[in-house]
Structure 1
Amino acid sequence: MPVFSYEQLRKMNPGEFRVYNFIASHLDAVPEMNIRQIAESAGVSTTTVLRFCEKAGCSGYSELKYRIRQELDTPSRNGSFDADPAIRYMKLAAKDSQFTDKMAQAAKICADAGQIILSGNRESRPFILYGAYLFSGIGKAAFTAEEGWGSACPKGETKPAVLILSSQGDGEEMVSLTNRYKKAGAPLISVTNTEHCPIARMSDVNFSCYMPEISRISRHGRTELVSQIPLVYLLETLTSEILGFQKQ
């Protein structure tokens, strides 16, 4: 699979990102699929697949398949978890001025807030709790408000800031909850997997990670799994930046 920079991923439109997600999650099958099958599987047009190939630095779909086949034939490849996208995200983020500016803005919002409310869906619960642990450790009042467990709306006099953790960023309940926070006047910071989702667009500051999605079928239905390494990195970086503002 061609390596994309964070900036390249950020500039992909939703259709191109669906192609990226499908191919990244089905590398073994792609060399045996034609372009129409890829388009149908990703829910896009063949033109979108060709645009994706161009952004991957390939002259067409045939070259993309050839490069993927070469990668599959490389002896070092195995079935273990691929941390490369997450590692690449962290390395590039540290050098990206847009990222550092957004991080400084988010840290200032949190430093000035009387309390920080961490909110997200059920899959985000461990990271919501970890974020609250980090913020409490530097003296910030931090509370959690998970999807399905009430909709604690912040009171203006407490000067709250809201941090929303939602990979998909488009769940009906989470979007509704985010809207209530916004109506209450709280500044919103969100971490999503793409900026092309309602929660990202509703936020004052959004960090989009663009990690490959892996589909999983369980008794609860179909879920999309993404690496949460960038989320941990963002929470710890934000905590460090808030601490810097507190020392000023």
Structure 2
Amino acid sequence: MFTNEMIASFNELETAVYQYISKNEQTVSYMRIRELADATHVSTATILRFCRKSGCDGFAEFKVRLKLHLAEKKQPRLKSMHHSVAEFFERTLNGPIEKQIERAAQIVSSADSIIFTGIGSSGIMAEYGARYFSSMGKLSLYIKDPLYPIHTELLQNSATIVLSVSGENDFTVRHAHQMREAGSTMISITNNKHCTIAKMADVNLSYYVTAEELDGSNITTQVPVVYILESLAREMHVLSSNN
């Protein structure tokens, strides 16, 4: 509700008003201007100046915006894990993903090395995937630092597995582009096949679960990603053993 520019423009008295409102948002949304002035030990004129600096014509408009802000902040109801897992199995496993996993397994089994990349929760999955694939006998590394330097001459006959829920993260897209330019064959694991990273990949494995956010953080379940990674690694091991 308050931008950095707004907060920087407040004088000492207006900052005191801002601090009080930040700690008492629900109460302030039902206060009269005189009540807020008394509570913050300032004049009503200071309150009005504060409202104008906050982008409102007066205190009444400020309270309307405050109430809308509080409504947006209401805690969303989280789905149960049972629902998330059932959604994945119903939407995805009845589709063509098993054949896509077989295609991806053929790529990684013939590659000399595998590079996993992702950031945030996808970075953690990249680390897990590299560990799991290495345990299956395939040299695997992971990159979860968005500023990690990539030396493309080392990527000959490699496969890159790119993980991203949205498939639109700028850093991940940049890494994926570098991998493609170096000639690394790309497999993407994303929440849908219509995102940028999925379109860049040679094979895309999509899991189609409802994306969830909490307080600005992406909390979309990673259970489908674990399933896909382990299924892919096991299929790769079978192919490698047969060869």
CA distance in 1, matches of 2:136, 2:176: 26
Partner of 2:80: 81
**Structure 2 regions of 5+ residues with no counterpart?**
1-71
Partner of 2:237: 243
Residue identity opposite 1:236 in structure 2: E
Change in Cα spacing, 1:79 to 1:189, as seen in structure 2 (3 Å) is: closer
Partner of 2:202: 204
Partner of 1:14: none
Tell whether the 8 Å contact from 1:215 to 1:224 is kept in structure 2 after alignment.
Answer: yes
Tell whether the 8 Å contact from 2:153 to 2:182 is kept in structure 1 after alignment.
Answer: yes
Percent pairwise identity: 26
CA distance in 1, matches of 2:87, 2:210: 12
Are 1:223 and 2:206 counterparts?
A: no
Pick from 101, 104, 107 the counterpart of residue 106 of structure 1. Answer: 104
Partner of 1:184: 182
Residue identity opposite 1:197 in structure 2: C
Residue identity opposite 2:194 in structure 1: H
Instruction: Give runs of aligned pairs for residues 1-248 of structure 1, distance below 5 A.
Output: 81-90=80-89, 93-96=92-95, 98-155=96-153, 158-217=156-215, 222-248=216-242
- 1:122 shift after superposition: 2.3
TM-score (norm 1): 0.61
SS at match of 1:117: strand
Change in Cα spacing, 1:196 to 1:147, as seen in structure 2 (3 Å) is: farther
- RMSD after superposition: 2.2
Tell whether the 8 Å contact from 2:155 to 2:179 is kept in structure 1 after alignment.
Answer: no
- 1:154 shift after superposition: 4.2
Larger Rg: 2
- 1:87 shift after superposition: 3.0
**Structure 1 regions of 5+ residues with no counterpart?**
1-40, 42-77
Runs ≥4 residues deviating over 6 A: none
